[in-house]
Chain A
């Protein structure tokens, strides 16, 4: 157990000290959303209708931006070899890294989202559903993203390749996430949220195995 905690602490410490990375993804998230009112015009009618979708798409893209930092550094400097040989099984290493990635890349998006929701004039009833949806869906983004991050190790343009790989996997999260907000006015957000939670729960045990297999492949 101290090994798991130590790894989690190290991951948080690294993203904190290389602080730019958290800020970068957050800045991208905010800017991408802010661009929409400027692009489609300030009519609140239109903004309210597309608002949830815009926030979800921006969250997806911001999550993709931060994927390559999951394993690339460890792969490049030899840390990955030692992690494979450590007392923690590689699947556990992946799980801890995903958890840390969610805390540093997913959770800040959730925290910022109400602000952006107000900016896009979302209905007061929709905002809690948006937050809840992001809270349930962003773990799946980190977990699925880890698979792509591991698969693209050693590739020449890992960032571009991993976004091509992972964005199709993110589709269900996007559909149910923005669907939940759309349905919330009618009071029918529950099934969407349950499905979002199911996606994250399904990814929780499966993604670490796929990711660990991809990492082993990369080390061969």
Chain B
């Protein structure tokens, strides 16, 4: 697959992150580093903060403490630039039933400054060509997941944040996902995945959210 290679920028670094949801401190003193081409798998029990950590890394949540650095520069100093560098695929598919498959991809490509040439590549990489003109309300859960993931290809971004990407995917879909992630990493892209299902990520580092559980630390903040 031909995907544009990224300029090998420095690491994505998170230092001393703590996350609070409501009255509960979910995790604290969490630090991580993802180098170019690197992959990180987030594991942990339900409610241990995998999704929250991904949303923190996507700047959709603000951490209670700690900071994010990209290539040594503070992410909060230039938020739009950092957001342009990342793709976030949450556990919701972000699909409108009234829009078509190709329409959905085309819209998000335009929103990310991608080009239409990437559309066909995105459809092909998740085996969606045959249903490209279907309205999304006809899609099954697995097909919706494929469409959500196909957005990754429509516009290049060096950081992918994937929340349970394999949920509802069949064996073929999982293979598509693994191929796409492998190609992304080969080009210097980074990926952070929260998952319960086994996913083939060679040389991925693992972060166990349970190690940073901090229910008793709430008094400190």
Contact = CB atoms under 8 A, between A and B. Distances in A.
Interface of A: 2-3, 6-7, 10, 13-14, 17-18, 73, 77-79, 81-89, 219-220
A22 to B, nearest CB: 13
Given A3-B111, A81-B58, A86-B112, 18 more contacts: A2-B110, A6-B107, A7-B107, A13-B99, A14-B96, A17-B98, A78-B91, A81-B60, A85-B60, A85-B83, A85-B86, A86-B111, A87-B84, A87-B113, A88-B111, A219-B60, A219-B61, A220-B62
B126 interface: no
Interface string B79-110: 01001101010111111101100010011101
B94 A82 contact: yes
In this complex, the member of B60, B80, B83 whose beta carbon has the largest number of chain A beta carbons within 10 angstroms is: B60
B88 A81 contact: yes
Nearest to A19: B98
A188 B98 CA distance: 47
Interface residues of B, number: 27
B88 A82 contact: yes
Nearest to A82: B94
A73 B97 CA distance: 11
In this complex, the member of B58, B61, B86, B110 whose beta carbon has the largest number of chain A beta carbons within 10 angstroms is: B110
Contacts of B112: 86-87
Contact of A82 (B61, B80, B84, B108): B108
Contacts of B58: 81, 85
B4 to A, nearest CB: 17
Nearest to A18: B98
B60 A73 contact: no
Chain B binding surface SS class: loop
Nearest to A89: B80
Nearest to B87: A85
Contacts of A7: 107, 111
Contacts of A18: 98
A48 B70 CA distance: 67
6 contacts: A3-B113, A10-B107, A14-B98, A78-B90, A79-B94, A87-B84
A202 B83 CA distance: 30
Contacts of A17: 98-99
Contacts of B59: 85
Contacts of A220: 61-62
B166 to A, nearest CB: 17
B156 to A, nearest CB: 13
A78 to B, nearest CB: 3
By Cβ-Cβ distance, the 5 closest A-B pairs, closest first, are A78-B92, A78-B94, A6-B110, A17-B98, A86-B111
B92 to A, nearest CB: 3
Contacts of B110: 2-3, 6
B95 A77 contact: yes
Contacts of A82: 88, 94, 108, 111
Interface string B4-17: 00000000000000
A218 to B, nearest CB: 11
Contacts of A13: 98-99, 103
In this complex, the member of B61, B91, B108 whose beta carbon has the largest number of chain A beta carbons within 10 angstroms is: B108
Contacts of A81: 58, 60, 88, 90, 92, 94
A78 B108 CA distance: 13
Nearest to A83: B111
In this complex, the member of A3, A73, A219 whose beta carbon has the largest number of chain B beta carbons within 10 angstroms is: A3
Contacts of A14: 96, 98-99
A82 B94 CA distance: 8
B60 A78 contact: no
Given A87-B113, A89-B80, A220-B62, A77 B107 contact: no
